[in-house]
Structures are given as C-alpha cells and as structure tokens.
Chains A and B, each alone.
Chain A
Amino acid sequence: MSTKSTKPSDVQLSDTAFATDLGDQSVGSALRDYGIRLRSGDLGALPAILGLVVLGLLFTALRPETFLSNQNIANLLVQALPVTILAMGLVFVLLLGEIDLAAGVTGGVAAAVLATLLSEQSQPWYVATLAGLGTGLLIGLVTGWLVAVLGIPSFVVTLAFFLGLQGISLRLVGEGGTVPINDDVIVALANKNLPLAAGWVLAWVCVIGYAAVGLFGWYRKQTRGLSRPPLPLVVTRVVVVSLLILGGTSLLSQDRARSPVVFLGGIPWGVLLVAVLLIVCTFVLGRTAYGRHIYAVGGNAEAARRAGINVTSVRISVFVISSTIAAISGIVAASRLNSATPDAGTRTELLLAVGAAVIGGTSLFGGKGKARDAVLGGLVIAVIANGLGLLGAKAYAQFLITGGFLLLAASVDALARRRRSATGG
C-alpha cells in the first residue's frame, strides 16, 4: 500500500529513452553496434562474403588466366543454379528449425514428371512445367501434414520420402535409362541467355528499384522519425549492390564464344530466375505478415501459438514452399543435362544446398536466415567446386573440402548460438 501514491505517468522521456530510435545515428555508432552484434555471435552474411573474397583471390592467384575468364564466370553461375534454388526453398524449412532431406529427390521426381510429359505425352512446355511444380507442391503438402499434424519428426518423414521418391523417379524414367528433353523453352532455362538489350534493361530496373527502395525507405523513416540506419551506410549499400549488378551484367554481356564466328553472351535465363526468386522470397519473408509468422514460429513456437498464429498451417506451408522450389531446382538441373535421370537429386545436391544455406548465414536451429543466404552460400559452394576443378583436384579432394566447409559453417552457427545465449536472454 505504500507506493499507491505513485505519481501518474508523465510522458516526459529521459535522455536515454529511445535514444537510438529518435536521434540520427552516426556511422561510427552504427559500426560499433555492428561490432557488438558480431561479438555476440550474430555474424550475418559476413562469413559467406569473406569466404567468397578469399576463395576468389586464391583461385585467381592460382589460375589467373582461366578463373576470372568470361566463360568461367558464366559457367560458374550456371553451375550454382540448382543448388542455389534448392537452398532458397530450404531456408523456409530451416527457419522453423526443421529439415527437408527429400528436397533434392523431389526436384528429381518433378523433372521426371516434366520430361515424361514432354516426350511421351507431347504436352506443351507450360503444361509439363505446371505438372512438375504441382508434383513438388503435392509432395510438400503430404510431408508438411505428416510433420505438423501427425507430429513425426521432419528428419524421419523426409528421410522416408528421400528413399520412396527415388522409387517414383525410377518408375517414371525406367531403370538405367534417361528421358531426353528437347523442348526449346525448358532447354533454354540453363543453356541460353537473355538478349543483351533485355539484360541491360533488367539490370538497370534492378539497380533503380533497389536504390529507390533503399533511399525512399530511409527518407520515409526519417520524416516519420523512425529507427533507421545512418544515410551513408544506406548509400554505400546501394552503391555496392548496384556496382555488382552492373558489373556482372557487363561481364556476362561480353562475347564468351570460343569460336570467333558466333556470338555467345548475355545473362543466362537461369540467373534471371534466381533473381526473381530472390526478390519474391525476400519480399515474402521480410514484408508480409506470413513471413513474420515464419520467424516467430521458428524463434518460439509457443509464443507464436499464444499470439494466435496458426502454427500448424505455417509448418505445413514451409514444406509446400520448399518442395515447390525444389521442383524448380530439379527442372533447372534437368535443363542443364537436357534430360531427366532416375538418380537426379539423390547424390550430394541436398547436402550442398543445406550447406549453402548455412554458409550463407541461415541457422540450423531455426528463427534466423534470409533468402539471400542461399545465393551467397550457393556461390561459395560453386566457387569451391569450380576452382578445384580448374586446379585439377581429384574428386575425393572435392568431397573432403566441401564437407569441411559445411562442417565449418555449421560450427560457426552452433558457436554463434552459444555465444548468443551466453550474452543475452
């Protein structure tokens, strides 16, 4: 009863209240905050970017004439496509702390469905593609239901699917055989490039769009007095990303044909596909209530449930997304080979994709990750494979080194998590 005379709340704020939000943050203090975040174990994209820089320098030094050639860069990007796309779908599942071991094989089945429809039923490419994507969606729906409603651990469900779906691939394609893909549109996905002009237009659209979102967003926050990063950092980020997009477009627009009589250049269609997926997934995860709910369920499922979020349907939906994107990845992989094979997705694809997501900064424990992690990590994986190939490394060395990298990324993730729980909450 003693403090019942507490003064009525006065809305006058002290100097420290919301200081970071309301004042203009200086670059120095923003960098200090970043340093604190790094020390507390939140490394973000740093390991992947450092990895890319170090590996790039290493391979450029060892193979100066081939690694940075136009041909090799284009080749590297196309090599990275299936794993990057697969990883982007897996980010959704990993955000909930679940795993989808069947994603690679799901892609294989989708490709087999597509190839069978194209060659045996002579369906047009869009029907076959829709059927392939539908296959992925259906597999995701069943997986998600078994995990979220029946409560079987995702590890077990997807392991069963990993085995079972290989049977479906084998049944569709036939033992030892392959189904060739001759459809122009599907083949173009991983083997053809955009017209040069279209590539440049899209590149500029991306640059202007990115700059507009970044700068206009900052301006809006500033006028409304919201928490915002310092302007110089926003500008730096816009400049760096723009230079990467324009530099990449310029590199890919040069002639990389070995024969002087033909011209081969432009952005591969598959790279455009990844760019579109990246934008869509980033938008869904960052700007929609659904994306927010995925993070919430991954961070604290009980809190999400009490907040009225339908945890079961969020769980099912991430498997649907992952499997559908896996189907896209399988179709791109089949396009690269010009055929569907019964063993597509059964080898290292899935593990490389998990590795890509984790190297990019997605946590295996859930609640932390972004769509861009898949792209950064996918590039790291592709650079390792490509560079080691140029060095003439034996296959066993490639397995050892890639495995080592995955283990390294997972250790960073686990240590960062321990660090986080030690420093706060």
Chain B
Amino acid sequence: MTSENGTPLLELKQINKSFGAVHVLHDVDFAVYPGQVTALVGDNGAGKSTLIKCVAGIYPVDSGGIIFDGRPVTVNSPRDAAALGIEVVYQDLALADNLDIAQNMFLGRERKRKYRLPLAEKLFPRTLDEASMEEAARETLARLSVRTVSSVRQQVASLSGGQRQTVAIAKAVLWESKVVILDEPTAALGVAQTEQVLALVRRLAETGHGVVLISHNMNDVFEVADRITALYLGRVAADVKASDVSRSQVVELITAGRSGDLGLAPSTAAESI
C-alpha cells in the first residue's frame, strides 16, 4: 500500500466474506493511518458495515489478514477489538438512556475502588470508584473541548442528538483507543450539531487517533477526510487522497465503481452487477 503516510495503524489485506451464497467482500484492502481521517464511502449494500463488523470482531472473516500496529492479529469478539484499541461508534450509538454520561462512558469497564485496609478490600471488592470515573469522564470531555454539557451526571436520555454522539465518541477516546471507527456520525443531526461533531472528528485525528469515517454525505467527507476509500459492490474501487479527487469523481466511484482512469476495470465493475 502507499507508504507516503508512514506505517498504517490498521491494515486489512485481501479480506473475503460471504453470507451463504452471497459474496459480500471481495479481496478488500483497507488501511488506517495514525493522525488521519480515512473516509469509507460506498452505496447501500457496498459492504461498508460488513467490513467494519469484521474489524470489530462481530463477524469472522472467511479469508484475509488483519494487521494492527505492524503485527498480524485475529479479532474474534468485540472484546478482542477493544483490547487492541479499536473502538466502533455505531450509528445507533448504543448508550443506555437510564444511565448518566459518566456511567455510560465507563459501561462494562467500571473502575473499582482501591482500599488501604485489606479487610475493606475483602468485604467490598467490587465497589465502584465513582469519584475517579466522574473525574476521568469530565477530563476526557474537556480535552475534546466539549462545551455543551453542563454535568457529566446528566442522564443520557436528556441529551440532544449531537450531545449523545459526543458522549459516544468521548467513550471511545476515554479508552485510549488507537483506531476510532465512526458509523454515519452525522446522519441524524442538524447543521450546527453536525459542525460540532465534525470538529470533534478532526480533533480525534489531531490527537493521534486513526479515524475511520463512514458516511454518505460528501460535504462531511470532504470537510474532514484525509483519505477516501470507496467500496463498490464489495470491492475497493479506489483508495485515494482526498485532495486528489473531486466530489463528482467520488460520487462516480460510489455509483459506478469507476471514474475516468480511477476505479475498477470496466470488466470487473460490470461483472459485479
């Protein structure tokens, strides 16, 4: 793959995935670089979600390799992905409405209290350390310059769509993840909230994360992406720098699999249909 960006943080090589008779991913190569936003674009059914779920450990791949931080890895469960430092922020966000912001950010990985007395340690070994979780949650949000939240003890049910998206992203940041995958983060947001979230996406990359942005929205893609990978019917149509292509070229790649000399060979593009 292109070496001009340094070593990729996450690299997928020749990934194939079928569901029964349906061959969803054909020899897909995909790379994510630290400090860059890679947009993953493609029409509905192009295989974006399947590819992400393979990375996240939800689907096993049929063939192909995943290389993380220079070494080959296997990702068999969401826990494996999280342990490597891969966090996925799904479109439906997966926040528990009845819990507050701090509780949601630490869900499933709660910090336990440390006691000085060994007896207390024995009696209450699993007591939650609310204080340090609250501090860490607030610190993470502050680091991402989130200014719209008045309390990390607010229930998530009372937050706006943009704020919820922010919490979901901050949750990924809190875990020192190296790769953050965002699935349509602006799909349900208004104009102002979209701007906030996109600024947050940029800030993620500036803080050294490898960011994958899945989006249908060309405005979003060209506003924040450094690289664009276009999928067409399960194949990579192009993997290009965002500055090298125009919007209409990307739209053509998404809808036809090729644009001028970019994209799949005409025969491959046609055969895929």
Partner-contacting stretch, out of A10-18, A43-51, A111-119, A197-205: A10-18
Tell me whether B96 and A288 are in contact (CB under 8 A).
no
- Using CB atoms, name the residue of chain A closest to B56: A306
Within 8 A of A (CB), among B77-131: 78-79, 82, 90, 92-99, 103-104, 107-110, 112, 124, 126-128, 130-131
Give B60-91 as 1s and 0s: 1 = Cβ < 8 Å from A's Cβ atoms: 00000000000000000011001000000010
Residues of A within 8 A of B44 (CB): none
Partner-contacting stretch, out of A178-186, A265-273, A290-298, A401-409: A290-298
Q: In the assembly, what is the distance between CA of A307 and CA of B131, in Å?
A: 21
Q: In the assembly, what is the distance between CA of A424 and CA of B154, in Å?
A: 12
CB distance from A383 to the nearest CB of B (A): 29
Tell me whether A20 and B142 are in contact (CB under 8 A).
no
Residues of B within 8 A of A292 (CB): 99, 103, 107, 110, 128
Whether A303 touches B142, Cβ cut-off 8 Å, given contacts A3-B224, A4-B202, A227-B151, is no
Q: In the assembly, what is the distance between CA of A19 and CA of B151, in Å?
A: 7
Residue from the list B90, B98, B151, B202 in contact with A18, Cβ < 8 A:
B151
Instruction: Say yes or no for B145: interface residue by CB 8 A criterion.
Output: yes
Residues of A within 8 A of B150 (CB): 16-21
Tell me whether B108 and A288 are in contact (CB under 8 A).
no
Tell me whether B222 and A1 are in contact (CB under 8 A).
yes
Tell me whether B142 and A11 are in contact (CB under 8 A).
yes
CB distance from B115 to the nearest CB of A (A): 13
- Using CB atoms, name the residue of chain B closest to A309: B108
Residues of A within 8 A of B146 (CB): 17
Tell me whether B135 and A9 are in contact (CB under 8 A).
no
Residues of A within 8 A of B141 (CB): 18
Tell me whether B82 and A308 are in contact (CB under 8 A).
yes
Give A182-194 as 1s and 0s: 1 = Cβ < 8 Å from B's Cβ atoms: 0000000000000
- Using CB atoms, name the residue of chain A closest to B82: A308
Tell me whether B224 and A303 are in contact (CB under 8 A).
no
Instruction: Say yes or no for B236: interface residue by CB 8 A criterion.
Output: no
Tell me whether A306 and B94 are in contact (CB under 8 A).
yes
Chain B interface size range: 35 or more
Tell me whether B126 and A18 are in contact (CB under 8 A).
no
Instruction: Say yes or no for A8: interface residue by CB 8 A criterion.
Output: yes
Residues of A within 8 A of B159 (CB): 424-425
Tell me whether B96 and A304 are in contact (CB under 8 A).
yes
CB distance from A65 to the nearest CB of B (A): 46
Residue from the list A220, A295, A309 in contact with B131, Cβ < 8 A:
A220
Q: In the assembly, what is the distance between CA of A6 and CA of B199, in Å?
A: 7
Whether A287 touches B147, Cβ cut-off 8 Å, given contacts A1-B223, A425-B157, is no
Whether A3 touches B199, Cβ cut-off 8 Å, given contacts A220-B131, A299-B97, A308-B82, is yes
Whether A295 touches B98, Cβ cut-off 8 Å, given contacts A306-B78, A307-B109, A425-B156, is yes
Whether A308 touches B134, Cβ cut-off 8 Å, given contacts A9-B145, A227-B153, A425-B156, is no
Tell me whether A289 and B94 are in contact (CB under 8 A).
no
Instruction: Say yes or no for A300: interface residue by CB 8 A criterion.
Output: yes
CB distance from B3 to the nearest CB of A (A): 22
CB distance from A315 to the nearest CB of B (A): 15
Q: In the assembly, what is the distance between CA of A264 and CA of B106, in Å?
A: 52
CB distance from B41 to the nearest CB of A (A): 16
Whether A295 touches B96, Cβ cut-off 8 Å, given contacts A9-B144, A16-B150, A17-B147, is yes
Chain B contacts to A: CB under 8 angstroms? 78-79, 82, 90, 92-99, 103-104, 107-110, 112, 124, 126-128, 130-131, 134-135, 138, 141-154, 156-159, 164, 198-199, 202-203, 206-207, 222-224, 242-243
Given contacts A9-B145, A292-B128, A302-B92, 10 further A-B pairs with CB under 8 A are A1-B223, A9-B144, A16-B148, A220-B131, A292-B110, A296-B103, A298-B98, A300-B98, A308-B108, A367-B98
Chain A contacts to B: CB under 8 angstroms? 1-4, 6, 8-11, 13-14, 16-21, 40, 220-221, 224, 226-227, 287-290, 292-293, 295-296, 298-300, 302-304, 306-309, 367-368, 420, 423-425
Rank and list the top 5 A-B pairs by shortest CB-CB distance, nearest first.
A307-B108, A299-B98, A299-B96, A303-B94, A20-B151
